[in-house]
Structure 1
């Protein structure tokens, strides 16, 4: 085994996609990508080709790490957007070489906080990250469910639609969310701010509505739902009605990496939403 590491910029798209698909073969969830979906992910999630790496054994892709960088709360953070090692190279030290290389890159880039997520059941990966100084700070869940909607409830709330890029201007915007839930990763989505009848802010949501061929909402991907006031059943139902866009028709909601520390997440779990995937959020300072 003769491992050499190259930047993604020095590799072909075929090599990159092969490294990714081989690296996540037999993974807990299906992560296989085409060249198109791989490229779209790099762009949509702000991943850096110049700071992402592929390990090669001679000409054979053996492992991959995707990386992104952002300023959050005035600090430079990095995100490991996926570390995968091909089946035949697992347990042979390739993941250790990859981690050493990316931590060198983070140091060169002046990163203050390094972040990543790992599937909760992937104990082997979690142990590896812990060896390199990461520690678990939160649990993140994908939830699926159909909230009860009552757009004509007695609770009066008003909503204002804004662009996701405008969210950071809100004094109550929470920047401390998982990378894929930050507004920079959801520029093609929608955002709403909610107010009571006295124009006091209640919170905000960041989401994407997915439409079917008949022009009806098929599902809603919920990236952030932050409630900053005390809430009740009627208020939450009114908020979901605003996200759907009116009407009482049931629509399936899927949360993306929702924090278990978020009160809205607990509300959904207490109201029939089911957990489909759970990850741990890990940080190295």
Structure 2
């Protein structure tokens, strides 16, 4: 008999077992230790034990649905951090029951929407989510500059670049941009990454461009005030970051932002074959 329960910290072992088994045949291979699983999926990703669900057949973990709640794009949101079912237990209603309970958590917690990401091409999963009432609202695209030394030469300009704080970048975003960021790039996510580097470009005392980036070359946020674009500021920020961390490649994920995507392509970044849908359902 299959039973379902809300998770607690005592369930880490069966949660990890269910996750590992459920993703054993996935199109992207996960090779995580239990500690890495905990730190990523129950840490930075924002999932919480109390909003996550575990399915068991007697004592055997057969399914898991992780959940996390926060205000996202101004709405209280329950996100599905992952849904994984043991291959031997698929098409037996396990995913549907986990989703029903996930939905109930959202209602109980007065959430305004449910949210998840799914890889394009995972047609079975997409079809399942559409049946649950989700709609595709945005796409996430992944770009890579495989050799960071190929970054275009920075243009000569008089703008000063220096390290700034998380608060500086966050305030700049809300004042000058404030558009949708995918979950893994938003500022709640950034704040949890201890090694994050924050740099700003200044016109005298005015902050005109910002960069959030990790030392391994992952960009989380890059934005230049519209008045100061096409002056080499974004490229100068990247060169400055490279001088501090000497990363070998540069990676970035973006939702549909034509100006940024055009800039990346001119810089030689290559659009990767994997992309994701962002799917939502209102409560």
Q: 1:164 to 1:86 in 2, by over 3 A?
A: farther
C-alpha separation between the residues in 1 aligned to 2:276 and 2:16? 24
C-alpha separation between the residues in 2 aligned to 1:167 and 1:117? 25
Structure 2 match to 1:228: 225
Q: What does 1:123-272 align with in structure 2 at a 5 Å threshold? A: 123-145=123-145, 146=148, 148-151=151-154, 153-170=155-172, 171-174=175-178, 176-187=180-191, 188=194, 189-195=196-202, 197=203, 199-210=205-216, 220-229=217-226, 231-232=229-230, 234-245=232-243, 251-255=248-252, 257-261=253-257, 263-272=259-268
C-alpha separation between the residues in 1 aligned to 2:258 and 2:221? 10
C-alpha separation between the residues in 2 aligned to 1:174 and 1:97? 37
Q: Aligned pair 1:279/2:282, yes or no?
A: no
Gaps of 5+ in 1: 211-219
Q: How far is the alpha carbon of 1:99 from its aligned partner?
A: 1.1
Q: How far is the alpha carbon of 1:175 from its aligned partner?
A: 6.1
1:182-223 per-position Cα deviation (integer Å, ceiling 9, x unaligned): 22222321222333x35554332221113xxxxxxxxx1111
User: Hey, which of these two has a bigger chunk of helix by percent?
Assistant: 2
**Equivalent residues of 2:63, 2:85 under 8 A apart:** yes
Q: 1:270 to 1:122 in 2, by over 3 A?
A: farther
C-alpha separation between the residues in 1 aligned to 2:210 and 2:81? 26
Gaps of 5+ in 2: none
Q: 1:186 to 1:250 in 2, by over 3 A?
A: closer
C-alpha separation between the residues in 1 aligned to 2:251 and 2:177? 21
**Equivalent residues of 2:9, 2:49 under 8 A apart:** no
C-alpha separation between the residues in 2 aligned to 1:118 and 1:183? 21
C-alpha separation between the residues in 1 aligned to 2:73 and 2:234? 29
- Which region of structure 1 is more displaced relative to structure 2, 54-63 or 260-269? 260-269
Alignment size in residue pairs: 271
Structure 1 match to 2:76: 76
Give the match's secondary structure for 1:133.
coil
CA RMSD of aligned residues (A): 2.4
**Equivalent residues of 2:78, 2:115 under 8 A apart:** yes
Structure 1 match to 2:54: 54
